[in-house]
Chains A and B, each alone.
Chain A
């Protein structure tokens, strides 16, 4: 199984809503990543988890709150988002942070903030 899954595929939310994005992998990977990708732009790193601990936060606003409940699951909790937060949110995983193996990407969640 070399798959990273993400739910939901699409999400529309208002600026006062609270929602969560979910990412799951069963490859035994111990590093997981959240990226944000705007249209026609490359993915931008948001957070890195290594062995279920937050390793890197790329100065992301607090309205985005990551959580790693276990080694297979990564969540991104959303609250009080702005329309400019509309983007494709990609989850990725790799064997661990110290290796340079390829990152496996999930299909992404297309988020629209109204």
Chain B
């Protein structure tokens, strides 16, 4: 079966760093995505990991450990506009994308 777990909600302060964790158990693995979704809008692509390690892209970084079934999204220098839901999604062996429940991040001044 497919199981992708993320914390439901997180709160952080503007200018701080926050780490959103994702653990997964899927039938096969062909890559992990992080998407950002503002309320009522479409998910937008943030990052893609298929090999172990850290991928850095500006204020956002994503880490993957395939042996542990674990990923995290790191957001630095938080801004108010970063308040959104962050979705972890995994491509399984059949190239079907399964989403975790999403983490609602609230950034406070």
Counting chain B residues whose Cβ lies within 8 A of the other chain, the interface size class is 20 to 34
- Closest CB of chain B to A100's CB: distance in Å? 5
CA distance A43 to B42 in the complex (A): 10
Decide: A42 near B99, CB < 8 A? Known: A100-B31, A102-B33. yes
User: Majority SS of interface residues in chain A?
Assistant: loop
Residue A59 CB within 8 A of the other chain:
no
Q: Which one of B35, B40, B91, B97 contacts A110 once the chains associate, using CB atoms below 8 Å? A: B40
Residues 78-109 of B, flagged 1 when their CB comes within 8 A of A and 0 if not, give 00000000010101000111011110100000
Whether A29 is near chain B, meaning CB under 8 Å from some CB there, is no
CA distance A48 to B97 in the complex (A): 11
- Shortest CB-to-CB span from A17 to chain B, Å, is 23
Give the chain A neighbours of B96 by CB distance below 8 A.
45, 48, 56
- Whether A88 is near chain B, meaning CB under 8 Å from some CB there, is yes
B43, B50, B87: most-surrounded residue (chain A CB, <10 A): B43
Q: How far is the CB of B41 from chain A (nearest CB, A)?
A: 6
Q: B101: which A residues are within 8 A, CB to CB?
A: 41-42
Contact A40 B50 (CB under 8 A): no
Interface pair B104/A90, CB less than 8 Å apart = no
**Are B40 and A88 closer than 8 Å at their CB atoms?**
yes
For A, the interface residue count at a CB cutoff of 8 angstroms equals 23
Among A40, A102, A103: residue with most chain B CB under 10 A:
A102
B44: interface (CB < 8 Å): yes
| Residues of B near any A CB (own CB < 8 A) | 30-31, 33, 35, 40-45, 48, 50, 87, 89, 91, 95-97, 99-102, 104
